[in-house]
Structure 1
Amino acid sequence: MRLAPHVVTAAAAISVALLAGRVYQPAQAEEVPVMSSAQMAAMEVQAFAAANAPAGMTAPEAVPVQIRRGETFEQAVRRTGVAPEEASAVAATVANAFDLADLRAGLRFETAIAKPRDGRGDARLIGLTMRTGPASQLTVSRSFDGALRLRSLEEKVTHETVVLKGDVERSLSASARELGATASIVRSASRLFATKFDMQRDIRASDEFTMVFDRDVTEAGRTVGVGDLMYAELRGVTFYRFKPAGAKEAQFFDASGKNLRSAMMRTPLQNFRRVSSGFGFRTHPISGYKKMHQGIDFAAGSGTPIVAPADGVVVEARRWGGYGNWLRIRHNNGLESGYGHLSRYGSGIRAGQRVSQGQVVAYVGSTGASTGPHLHYELWRNGQRINPAGVRTQEGTELAGGDLAAFRAEKARIDRIIASGGQKRPALQQASADGLRPVRG
C-alpha cells in the first residue's frame, strides 16, 4: 500500500509514542486491507492524535524548512531546534539515497518536530519528507527502537493528451482553470483568442471552448509536467499548432492552413472592467476643455498586465509629461502602439528590445495626468494617430506544398484525439522530458 508522505511521518510519531510508554507486544503478520482515500485521511487524523506523548515531549508539530543561500542541509535541519548530532544523523541518513550536494537554495522540505514539555533542551525530529523529483520523494521516520529509517517513494507517471471542453461561466480563464488547465495553457489560449475577439466584450456566458495539451500526471492525480497548447477553439474559431519545415518555432494555423501569427490582437489587455473613454472629441476629465482624445482608455485595476498586440521593437520606455510612464512599440505594416499612465514596465523592457505578440510589456497604473488606474492606448499608422478600434491587419500567409500536406496530417491527428476525448499512456521518461515543463508551486 502506497502511503502519502505525511501519513508516513505520522506513523513514525506513533512509533515514538509506543516506545515511550507502552508494553512491547510480539509483532504478528496480518494482511493489510485495501483502504479508500477517506479511510487513509481518517488514519492520518488518528495517527497524529495517537502521537501526542513522546516521553517528556509535546505532540509533534509540522515545521516547514527552506534551505537558505550558502546553507547546508544539515544546517537547515538544525534550525528546527534539534541537537547538532541529530541533525548530522538525519543528513547522513538522507545522503544514503540522495547527493546532498545537489540541493539548492530555496528547496523546501517538511519536518515533524516534538519539543521538550518543560521548554528546556533540544527538540526531537519525528519525521522528515523531501521531494527529490517531480514524482519522487524521500521520507525519514523513526522505527520502534528510535532509529532513523529512510524510505524512497516513487509514483508512477502517466502521459496524457488532455481534451478540455466547457462553457464560459464567470470568465474563460476561470472556467478553463476549473476544468484542469494550467496557468500557462490559459495564457497561451487567451493570446490566440485575443487576435480574433475582444475578450471583455465579445465573450459571453455559455460560449463553448476547447483546449488540447499534453501533461504528465502522477498516481495521486498531481500534474508534474505540462506541454505546449496543441489546439484551441472558441465560438467555432479554431487554432492548430504546427511547425513548418525550417521554422525556428511552432506557430498556429486555422483549419485551412492560414498562419494566424501576424494578426494584431484586438486589445492589449485581457482583463479590464470597461472602455472608459473612446477615440474622438471629449471633455477632458482634468482640464475641463473639449479636445480630441487620440486613443482608447481601458479602466482596469492597478498592476493589470499589458501585452504586446503584435511582434515589434520597443522604441521608447520613459517618462513623458501627462502620459506618465510611457511605452511605444514599433510593429510591421507601418504601425506603432503607445501605452500611457503605466505603473511599471515588464521584465527587460527598454528601448531596442524585441517583443513578441502576447508578451507582458507593462502594467496598468495611474502615473502622469490621470484620475485613476487605467490604460491609455494609442495606435499610429505611418506617423499618424488612428482609432485602434478600427484597425484590421492582414493575417499570415497560407501553407503550401509539403508544409500543407504535413499540416493536414497533424490536423487529422489532433482531430482524432479530440474525437476520442484524449489519450493516456505510461510516461517512459521524467516529466520534464518530451517538451513538458515542470509545474511550479
Structure 2
Amino acid sequence: MQEFDPRRPTLRLAPRLLMGVIGFSALALGWRLTAAEATAPIPAPLDPAAIAALQHAAFTQAEAQPGFARPESVPVKILPGETFEAAVKRAGVAPDEARQVVQILAETMDIVHIKAGMAFDAAIAHPRGQRGPARLIGLSLRTGPATAVTVSRTFDGALRLREMEEKIREEETVAQGEISGSLYESATALGATSAITSQMVKLFAHKIDFDRDIKPGDKFELVFNRQITESGRTVEASDLQYAQIKGIRFYRFAHDGDIQYFDEFGKNIKGFLLRTPVDGARMTSSFGMRRHPILGYNRMHQGIDFGAGSGTPILAAGDGVVVEARRWGGYGNWLRIRHNDGWETGYAHLSRYAKGLKPGMRVRQGQLVAYVGSTGASTGPHLHYETWYRGARVNPVSAKVPQGTVLAGRELAAFKAEKARIDRLLQEQEQAAQDRVAPEAAPKRLAVANTDPVQTAGLRR
C-alpha cells in the first residue's frame, strides 16, 4: 500500500477505512472476546465516542507512518518495581515518546502508584531496516471492567488522549462447556466469576470429590445472572440459578425464607454434612488402622486427613453450634461443632479460627470457621476431620447421615414451574449451539464468532 503523505487531503483516506477496520487486530485496544464469549449475541452498536476511536484506529492501521513498517500490537505487563514510563520504553519506544505518553495519561489517571501486573497494549511501528527506536502509534489501558483510556497518534503526529466506556446490560447467562484444565479456568472462560464457581464447588462438595472425580472432558452447565459489557466481559455475577456436573443437577429455590438448591425431584440435595470441608483438598489418610507417622506403631486413625496448604479455609460441614474452640493435646488447635440428631464434627491441627468464632456461636453449612495448619502432633499442614454420632467416632466417608428436605404441595408445584423455565433456557442454548455448527449457517456465524465486537459495530451500517 502506498505510504501516507501528510500533504494529501485526508479525505482521500476514506476509501481505505474498511480495509483498516478489517486489519484492526494490531490495535484491538484490549476489547477482544474469548472463545467462549464468541457464542454471545452480537452486541449493541457502540456510542459515538467509541465509533470515533474505532475510525481513528482504522485510519492509523490503514496507513503506515513514513519511514516505518506497519504497526504491531505489543502486550506489556508492568514488572515489580517498574515505573509506567520504564514499561513503555521496554516495548521499544524512545525515552522522549515514553515520557510524553505518561504525561498525557497522567491527565486522567494516577500513573505513579501503579501495581505490578498492570497490563496495557502498545501499537509499535518499527523503522524500516530496524535501525533506530520504534515509534508509538497508540496505547490502550483498561481502567475498569467497562472502561479504558487510549493514547493514539493523529495524522499531524500528535498524541491524543481518549476515554472509552462500554454500556453494561443485565442478562441471565447459560454457560455450557467441558472441563479443560481446572473447573475454575473452564467456568471463567464461559463468563463465570470466581464467586460463582466457588458457589458451585460448595454445592457439590458433599457429592463429588473434585480432586478424584472430575476429569478433563466432563461436561458442566451453569445458569446465573450477570452484568456484561458490550464486548462480552463480565462485570459482576450473582444468583447461581442452576448447576450441573457429572449428571448431578441443582435448581435454586426459596424454601422457608432461605435460598436452597434442590434436585430435579424437589429433594434438597445439600446433604446434612459436606463430604469435603476444604475446597480442592485431597484425602491423604483414611479412617481405620494405620502406622502413626510420629509414634511409629499401628494405631486407630479416627478420622480422615485432607492435605492442604497452611492457611487454606475450612468450612463448617453442616449447620450447627460451636461447642469447642480450644487447644486439645496432640490435636493442637481443635474445633467441634454440634449438629442436629446427635451428630458432631471435629477439626484438628488448625492454624487459627475464623474471626469472631467462639463457643455457643451458630454456624451455617459452608461457612468459614477456621484455617488449615500444623499445630499439635502433626508432620505438616493438613486438616484432620472427624465425624461423631451420639458420642462415638464414625467413618466420615461411609457414615449414613440424614437426608435433606423434600418439597411437597404448593412448594413442589412452584419449584417445578421454575425448573421448567430453566430447562427451556438450557434447551434453547443447545439448539442455538447446533444451529451454529449447521453447514448452511456456518459461514455467517463463523464470521461473527471470529470478529472483534468493536469491529462488528464499526462495520454495521
Q: What TM-score results when the alignment is normalised by the length of structure 1?
A: 0.65
1:267 maps to 2:276: yes
Within 5 Å, give how 1:34-433 maps onto structure 2: 34=18, 39-43=23-27, 134-137=145-148, 151-168=162-179, 171-204=182-215, 206-244=217-255, 247=257, 249-261=258-270, 263-276=272-285, 278-421=286-429
State the partner residue of 1:437: none
State the partner residue of 1:10: none
Deviations 1:61-109 (A, max 9, x none): 98979xxxxxxxxxxxxxxx99xxx999988x65xxxxx9xxx999x89
Q: Percent identity?
A: 52
Q: Distance in 2 between matches of 1:89 and 1:167?
A: 44
CA drift of 1:163 comes to 2.8
Q: Is the 8 A contact 1:163 1:422 kept in 2?
A: no
Q: Is the 8 A contact 2:191 2:233 kept in 1?
A: no
Q: Distance in 1 between matches of 2:168 and 2:430?
A: 16
State the partner residue of 1:431: none
Q: Distance in 2 between matches of 1:275 and 1:261?
A: 25
Q: Distance in 2 between matches of 1:383 and 1:141?
A: 72
CA drift of 1:128 comes to 8.6
The amino acid of 1:328's aligned partner reads: R
Q: What TM-score results when the alignment is normalised by the length of structure 2?
A: 0.62
Q: 1:398 to 1:52 in 2, by over 3 A?
A: farther
CA drift of 1:231 comes to 0.9
Q: Distance in 2 between matches of 1:339 and 1:250?
A: 27
Q: Is the 8 A contact 2:330 2:376 kept in 1?
A: yes
List gaps (5 residues or longer) in structure 1: 1-17, 54-60, 66-80, 95-99, 113-124, 425-441
The amino acid of 1:256's aligned partner reads: F
Give the secondary structure class of the aligned counterpart of 2:400.
coil
CA drift of 1:419 comes to 0.5
Q: Distance in 2 between matches of 1:204 and 1:239?
A: 20
Number of matched pairs: 364
Give the secondary structure class of the aligned counterpart of 2:272.
coil
Q: Is the 8 A contact 2:191 2:234 kept in 1?
A: no
State the partner residue of 2:11: 28
Give the secondary structure class of the aligned counterpart of 1:409.
helix
CA drift of 1:328 comes to 2.3
Q: Distance in 2 between matches of 1:205 and 1:105?
A: 38
Q: 1:140 to 1:174 in 2, by over 3 A?
A: closer
Q: Is the 8 A contact 1:161 1:422 kept in 2?
A: no
Q: 1:287 to 1:163 in 2, by over 3 A?
A: same
Q: Distance in 2 between matches of 1:63 and 1:215?
A: 28
CA drift of 1:135 comes to 2.2
